[in-house]
Chain A
Amino acid sequence: MAGAAPRVGRWWLGSRRGFSRAGGGAGRLAAEGPVRGHKPESPASSFCPPACSCNDWIGPPDRHSNLRPIIFHIPKNESPLERKLREFRQETQIWNQQFWASQNMSFRKGKEEFISSRLKAKGLDMIDRTGQKVTLNAEEMADFYKDFLSKNFKKHMCYNREWYKRNFITTFLMGQVAFKRVWKKLGWKKMKVGN
């Protein structure tokens, strides 16, 4: 199973690029359409793992979602179960990215609108004399926090349910894959001993 020469693995870059746009990238792509509401990715994050590595790679937290993107490695002899796991993880990653990016974006937008409306009511400017943006302290922001939480409650309930389901399925599939690998190894060991 383990070759002498370093394997040139394929990398599913579509998953990572799925953070900003669909299409392009080596290997297979997710079945997702274009992701809206994100700016095109900067060249800074067009990372490609070294060819000799046969593990997944995890990156720094995304600017919008704070989630760390994973680049999944596609082994040469990927079994159907392994492929199912990888594709499910990719799909979950995109779904998670979309939710949190939009959530954080709407929070920031709502916060700015709230601050500007409060400042207007006070008769103050958004930018003070030193050229810095004026912000409100936590006590003044409390109304916004409460409002935002209650507005997004249903959205969070749906997300939670879906997230728990996906988390369980991913872990279950990982368990199955791990079990099958161990089983295979034991099977081959028996064959070797037999020979």
Chain B
Amino acid sequence: LIGLFVWNLQKRAVRQIPCKFMHCFGVANKRWITFQHLNFLKRMYVTQSSKDLSQQAKLKPDPVAHPVLEKKHLGQEKTVTCELRSVSPLHPPLSETSHRKDLATAVGAESKEKQWKEMKLQLDDLPGILARLSKIKLTALVVSTASAGFAMAPVPFDLTCFLLTSIGTGLASCAANSINQFFEVPFDSNMNRTKNRPLVRGQISPLLAVSFAATCAVPGIALLTLGVNPLTGALGAFNIFLYTCCYTPMKRMSIANTWVGAVVGAIPPIMGWTAATGSLDAGALLLGGILYSWQFPHFNALSWGLREDYSRGGYCMMSVTHPAMCRRVALRHCLALIGLSTVAPLLDVTTWNFPLVSLPINLYISYLGFRFYRDADRSSSRKLFFCSLWHLPMLLLLMLTCKKSLLESEDKSNHLRNHSHTVEMGLP
């Protein structure tokens, strides 16, 4: 009996040290990644989103009126409340007879000529072009959520597996984003948010875009299937299919695209978890559920400010066709986040600290969701959108800090085993 007890102690001691080390390393690593990703997100969205939400479609001014305006590719669109010319586009400006206007026309003509670009692939620009084609910032976000899934899995941290998962997921995301842009060229041209994409500007040919997507997808999925496990590879391949062949065409057919898109966003953390554990556990589905619910306040709030572009471009979005439902769904999923955070300790993913420490931020986003539901205006939609940007990294960070320690769960299972063993030994 004593021998058994001593042997057990030794076993535990041997396992404790490497596991503890790996666990700390893993947690520290994830914290660093999430912190970086938080800052990165802030930078990305603060520069981009103000453009998204403050632009309004307006009639493009004639070169005669504003020769300089044409040169602006990036930068914020100013909200204009007046027409620059009183002449409607249907009636050609036949009244231009003054010499001054002719001169201005000549200047405008020259500047327009300069805007013609040769469609020759510049190798120096290629990395930047491919980064924009693959939506590298969104890819980084996707890889972060997959890393979070990996870190939350209740197994010792494996650096090689982690790196292979991250690279594989990143490549799959690049491929999916490239195909998405390949499909959407004329639509992207007509929306202010997307009119500077590489295919729209002719910086890269569609053939090259598709080839790039294939060069990312094949090694990416192969890496996940062969280097990690077939389940993760299958999820990656399925996600590419879901995003490119379901979500992208559905954007123009039915409002159900938002739900499909939410699933697309939920799969990466599930992939991270399955990469670590090799199986689809309840914990994986919980993480996926959190990401799924988060998509709604995030996207519905963003789409509120883009209704004009969506309507003109033929996109079927809830914010245009069913505005009340749009706000209701956003609020519903804000509240769902509170529920899901409470389920986390029940599934042994986190300790009971997590629902408590995450309650303030979950309540805050729910409050903003309620304001958006009630007020239905630009200001409340913007507040909700910006909140969602820091809410997700913060939630994942809190989750990581409250992760159920491997030792605790092992101790629990060992203690139970010991107890049952001693009971067995005690029996005559």
- A39: B residues at CB distance < 8 A: 89, 92
Which residues of chain A are near B323, meaning CB under 8 Å? 142, 146
Interface residues of A in 101-160 (CB under 8 A from B): 103-105, 107-109, 112, 132-133, 135, 137-139, 141-142, 144-146, 148-150, 152-153, 156-157, 159-160
- Residue from the list B108, B120, B186 in contact with A163, Cβ < 8 A: B186
Distance, CA A175 to CA B60, complexed state (A): 36
- Which of B81, B115, B186, B307 interacts with A59 by CB under 8 Å? B115
Do the beta carbons of A58 and B116 come within 8 Å of each other?
Answer: yes
Q: How distant is A7 from chain B, measured CB to nearest CB, in Å?
A: 15
- Given the known interface contacts A40-B92, A58-B117, A132-B82, the answer about A145 and B307 at a Cβ–Cβ threshold of 8 Å is yes
Give A170 to B205 CA distance when docked, in angstroms: 11
Binding-face segment, A45-53, A74-82, A184-192? A45-53
Q: B305's closest neighbor in chain A, by CB?
A: A138
Residue A70 is within 8 A (CB to CB) of chain B in the complex: yes
Interface pair A175/B190, CB less than 8 Å apart: no
B63 sits at the interface (CB 8 A): yes
Cβ A66 vs Cβ B105 within 8 A: no
- A-B pairs with CB below 8 Å: how many? 149
The answer to whether A67 and B189 touch across the interface, beta carbons within 8 angstroms, is yes
Residues B116 and A44 in contact, CB atoms below 8 Å apart: no
A160 to B378, CA, bound (A): 30
Question: What size tier do the contact residues of chain B reach?
Answer: 35 or more
- In contact, B316 and A149 (Cβ under 8 angstroms): yes
A39 to B252 CA separation, bound complex (whole angstroms):
30
Task: Determine the chain B residues whose CB is within 8 A of the CB of A163 once the complex forms.
Answer: 186
Interface pair A66/B311, CB less than 8 Å apart: no
**A-chain residues with CB within 8 Å of residue B70 when the two chains form the complex:** 60
Q: Can you name 11 A-B pairs with beta carbons within 8 Å?
A: A39-B92, A47-B113, A53-B118, A58-B119, A63-B62, A63-B89, A100-B189, A107-B312, A141-B308, A160-B314, A167-B206
Measured CB to CB, the residues of B under 8 A from A are 59-60, 62-63, 70, 81-83, 88-90, 92, 105, 108-109, 112-113, 115-120, 182-183, 185-186, 189-190, 195, 200-202, 205-207, 210, 249, 252-253, 305, 307-308, 310-312, 314, 316, 320-321, 323, 376-378
